[in-house]
Structure 1
Amino acid sequence: MRPPLKVLINGGGIAGNAVAFWLSRLGHHVTVVERFPSLRVTGLQLDLRGHGIDVIKQMGLEQAIRNKSAPEEGMQVVDSSGKRRAYFPVNKSGKGKQSLTTEFEIVRGDLCRVLYDAALESKVKPEYIFGTGPQSLVQKGEVVEVLFENGQTDEFDLVVGADGQWSRTRRLMHKSETNASSDSIHIIPDLYFAYYTMRRPMENGEQYAATSYMAPGKRGIMTRRHSPGDLQVMLSCRNSSAQMRNARRGSVTEEKAALADIFRNAGWISEDLVKGMMEADDFYCERPGVVKQESWSQGHITLVGDAAYCPTILTGMGTTAAMVGAYILAGEIARHATDNKDAGSLRVALTNYELKFRPYMDQIQDGVVEKATYQYTMPDSPLAISIMNWGLGLASYFNLNIAEIWGIKEVVKGWQLPEYEELPGIS
């Protein structure tokens, strides 16, 4: 029997904690490094769909996630006066596809904490090291030598990059590939999303409903609630201004200033929301991009989640993809590299991980970049917004599920979630 693998996971978010959960339960020695100084439990609301729900059930975490679920009842569309023009309730029937709001809505930090706590319940507990990350990765035969930012070095049988869309692991992996491109992100031009929370107590009669508002000038606002006192805000825009283009990624001051200028006089409650943005300490601005690569692995380095195959917020499937990808990666390791003495068995596992999951991700990502020019233009004029709201109102009246129209591919045709008897049972 092969001794347990020594595994390094770079990234302590959802994908990283999901991999740590499975590999620790298989008895492998897992170290998770996270550049943030503590477990990063910030972020707005997200959801699980389709096979992502199947995976959390197999992890035995369905009830833990339901206990932390956001109380969102559905999504409404409003006009500039705040009048509801359409409403799409959550599908609580337990049958069919999820609506725009799913049964498994949860704040990112809560999901991250559930996965982290569950990973630490393993008999072979993963080790978490915060405040550092890999500075270099060097393949040496059947191990990867890692130099960390804190100056320490170590060797691992497997390195897993779970460090997001702008993955440092991916860049370090590419450095050891012949003729590899410097990166694999396909940014959608002039499209921006900003996220933050602000203090805004619920008003009398206000529901726990996501609220979507479109403003002229290709501007959108969505608000959501996970508590009676705090409001989650997402601003989106299609904007080619020099100020927005020149705002440095991660420069909160520059990004806030550019967005405040863009959303000036946007209508509805935009002025209050912009003021809240300027005061927010959890602000994050995203430039959506699809991550596509010829291979997700190189030697004994592999990638999972957004680091490998970010599908963007436009698909609504990023969290589900991370959970399903972590499950298949762990399943293939359990099948090929846990008990097998063959030194090449780990590479077989990584190859099969990609062979089995790439068809799923190909469908999820299909057309996101190619159709961006016309599919994500956003309405520009009051007339276009009125027509859109009228159409959504009609869909709401006939109780149509418009999630797929909005680009959410919950069901991937011709693909089934693999079953792994080798993964440990959940009691």
Structure 2
Amino acid sequence: MPSLKVLICGGGCAGPALAYWLANTGHNVTIVERFPVLRATGAQIDLRGQGIEVVKRMGLNDIIRSKLVDEEGTAFVDLNENIGATVLANKSGKGAQTLTSEYEIMRGDLIRIFYDATHHNVKYIFGTTVENFEQDDQSVTVRFSDGSSDTYDLLIGADGQGSRIRKAILSPNSQEPYRKLGMHMAYWFIPRDETDDNLSRSYLSPGGRMIKRRSHNETETQVYFFLKDDSPELPSIHRASVETQKEFWTRRFHGAGWQTSRFLEGMKTTENWYCQEVVQVQTDTWYKGRVALLGDASSCPSPFSGMGTTGSLVGAYVLAGEINRHADDLPRALANYDEVFRPFVDEVQNINVSLMKLAIPETRWGITILHFIAWLVCFLRIPELASRFSKERDGDWKLPDYPELNQKGEENRNIKN
């Protein structure tokens, strides 16, 4: 099989995961990342189902497990910090994950693990973006923001839900790729205090507001605000200045109760701040010619699915497998990637939006009812029994086997040795 020259746009999780497989199987891989340094930051993420299997096949399971966040589970609290229900993590190694996965990890730690596993045979270019590109049947010519250009066999857009690569390959009359869920979120880090432990807390406040607190080390605590609001003008907030964003969240959550005052005070000086509209990326176009999309750029399932990182890793594995299986026929490889992976995406994006919104009530009475239901479900041990005797959320979709990845990887390691 020919060795391909591949450019990956985006140095998050999906891009380096794909680079890992391609570089280890003899391809010439470059990752271009718009940030000036490795962006090893971000909040807590998790792996589930097939994502866990992928990192095992990558041979990175042990190092990832050594960096896991020790989160015991999720508790639902009221205004006075009283715990009404608790769903513990299933760390038995069997059955389905609960609200807290067995594989909880900070995004920055996972990014560093992928970087350490790839930088010796993958070229990283930081502080640079793809300005534009042209392609024909033989190659893709890419022009970069620093004025340089180069030619590749394949260009992969792994540049997030706001992907510029996706915008470039979609036709002008394509439908809007975002499925709006009527939800918005923000997260930041604050100093940990004596009330914080390894049990995550979720709190509901009238007005369609939810707060989540979780602590990942001895000095820091993560705060998440969720707001249910489908006002058409609200998405513009996320494109405003950080100061304007913080003013908005402060105004909407003022007086929400629980530890809100502490969280808003910590917001003022945090160095880790992020807010976004919660959306899904849905498009029929995952590739065009020699350009393909991966991760959130192709199929962001939204944070409420719990499958974003898993989807990125599974997509990278399938794409790498098809590229290696058909390296001399890239149109077929990309078509197979779409055919094999899309049923998985359809499953993880199958979110009942109405039910999701019911989980964040507008009124105090609605919150009381929801708390009672949560207490009853946990009292009957339904989450524990469901996780122990259920399969992970994979439905009928099974992770395919690509012997080409392991065989070619072993061959290249032998050559180097």
- For normalisation by structure 1, the TM-score amounts to 0.90
What does residue 38 of structure 1 align with?
37
Preserved CA contact (<8 Å) 1:248 1:254? no
Q: Say whether 1:195 aligns with 2:187.
A: yes
Which one of the candidate residues 149, 154, 159 is aligned to 1:153? 149
Rate the CA distance shift 1:141–1:241 in 2: closer, same or farther, 3 A.
closer
Which one of the candidate residues 379, 394, 403 is aligned to 1:412? 394
Matched residues in 1 for 2:230 and 2:379: separation? Answer: 36
Matched residues in 2 for 1:119 and 1:170: separation? Answer: 25
Matched residues in 2 for 1:153 and 1:410: separation? Answer: 45
1:183, distance to aligned residue in structure 2 (A): 4.8
Matched residues in 2 for 1:403 and 1:100: separation? Answer: 14
Question: 2:30 aligns to what SS in structure 1?
Answer: strand
Q: How does 1:42-121 map to 2 (within 5 A)?
A: 42-121=41-120
Preserved CA contact (<8 Å) 1:244 1:255? no
1:242, distance to aligned residue in structure 2 (A): 8.5
Q: How does 1:213-224 map to 2 (within 5 A)?
A: 213-224=203-214
1:399, distance to aligned residue in structure 2 (A): 1.9
Rate the CA distance shift 1:216–1:402 in 2: closer, same or farther, 3 A.
farther
Preserved CA contact (<8 Å) 2:36 2:126? yes
Cα deviations by residue, 1:109-145 (Å, 9 ceiling, x for unpaired): 1011111111135xxx110000011010111221111
Gaps of 5+ in 2: 411-417
Cα deviations by residue, 1:298-320 (Å, 9 ceiling, x for unpaired): 00000110000011011111010
What does residue 247 of structure 1 align with?
237
Gaps of 5+ in 1: none
What is the letter of the counterpart of residue 356 of structure 2?
A: Q
1:403, distance to aligned residue in structure 2 (A): 12
Matched residues in 2 for 1:33 and 1:421: separation? Answer: 28
Matched residues in 1 for 2:118 and 2:385: separation? Answer: 32
Preserved CA contact (<8 Å) 1:196 1:283? yes
Matched residues in 1 for 2:147 and 2:217: separation? Answer: 42
Preserved CA contact (<8 Å) 2:192 2:215? no
Question: 2:383 aligns to what SS in structure 1?
Answer: coil
Matched residues in 1 for 2:215 and 2:106: separation? Answer: 10
What does residue 382 of structure 1 align with?
364
Matched residues in 1 for 2:73 and 2:220: separation? Answer: 18
Runs of 4+ in 1 over 4 A off after TM superposition: 240-246, 402-405
What does residue 317 of structure 2 align with?
327
Matched residues in 2 for 1:404 and 1:299: separation? Answer: 44
Rate the CA distance shift 1:245–1:309 in 2: closer, same or farther, 3 A.
closer
Which one of the candidate residues 141, 147, 150 is aligned to 2:137? 141
Matched residues in 1 for 2:298 and 2:335: separation? Answer: 14
What does residue 373 of structure 2 align with?
391
Q: How does 1:224-239 map to 2 (within 5 A)?
A: 224-239=214-229
Preserved CA contact (<8 Å) 1:80 1:267? yes
Q: Say whether 1:185 aligns with 2:178.
A: yes
What is the letter of the counterpart of residue 193 of structure 2?
A: P
1:347, distance to aligned residue in structure 2 (A): 1.2
Matched residues in 2 for 1:243 and 1:294: separation? Answer: 27
Matched residues in 1 for 2:386 and 2:157: separation? Answer: 30
What does residue 363 of structure 1 align with?
347
Rate the CA distance shift 1:258–1:143 in 2: closer, same or farther, 3 A.
same
Rate the CA distance shift 1:188–1:114 in 2: closer, same or farther, 3 A.
same
Cα deviations by residue, 1:148-205 (Å, 9 ceiling, x for unpaired): 111111111000111111011111222xx4x54275122223x1110111112344xx
What is the letter of the counterpart of residue 272 of structure 1?
A: R
Preserved CA contact (<8 Å) 1:395 1:402? no
Cα deviations by residue, 1:47-67 (Å, 9 ceiling, x for unpaired): 000000110100011111110
Matched residues in 2 for 1:311 and 1:418: separation? Answer: 21
372-381 vs 151-160, which deviates more?
372-381
Q: In percent, how many aligned pairs have the same letter? A: 41
Question: 2:102 aligns to what SS in structure 1?
Answer: coil
What is the letter of the counterpart of residue 305 of structure 1?
A: G
1:286, distance to aligned residue in structure 2 (A): 1.1
Matched residues in 2 for 1:298 and 1:40: separation? Answer: 28
Matched residues in 1 for 2:297 and 2:386: separation? Answer: 25
What does residue 424 of structure 1 align with?
406
Q: How does 1:257-406 map to 2 (within 5 A)?
A: 257-337=247-327, 340=328, 345-366=329-350, 368=351, 371-373=352-354, 375-377=356-358, 378-401=360-383
Preserved CA contact (<8 Å) 1:224 1:231? yes
1:33, distance to aligned residue in structure 2 (A): 0.5
What is the letter of the counterpart of residue 141 of structure 2?
A: E
Cα deviations by residue, 1:37-78 (Å, 9 ceiling, x for unpaired): 111111110100000011010001111111000011111110
1:240, distance to aligned residue in structure 2 (A): 5.4
Matched residues in 2 for 1:380 and 1:186: separation? Answer: 22
1:252, distance to aligned residue in structure 2 (A): 1.4
What is the letter of the counterpart of residue 147 of structure 2?
A: G
Matched residues in 2 for 1:7 and 1:390: separation? Answer: 54
Preserved CA contact (<8 Å) 1:72 1:101? yes
Cα deviations by residue, 1:196-249 (Å, 9 ceiling, x for unpaired): 11112344xx53011100111110000111111100111001135788454252
Rate the CA distance shift 1:349–1:359 in 2: closer, same or farther, 3 A.
same
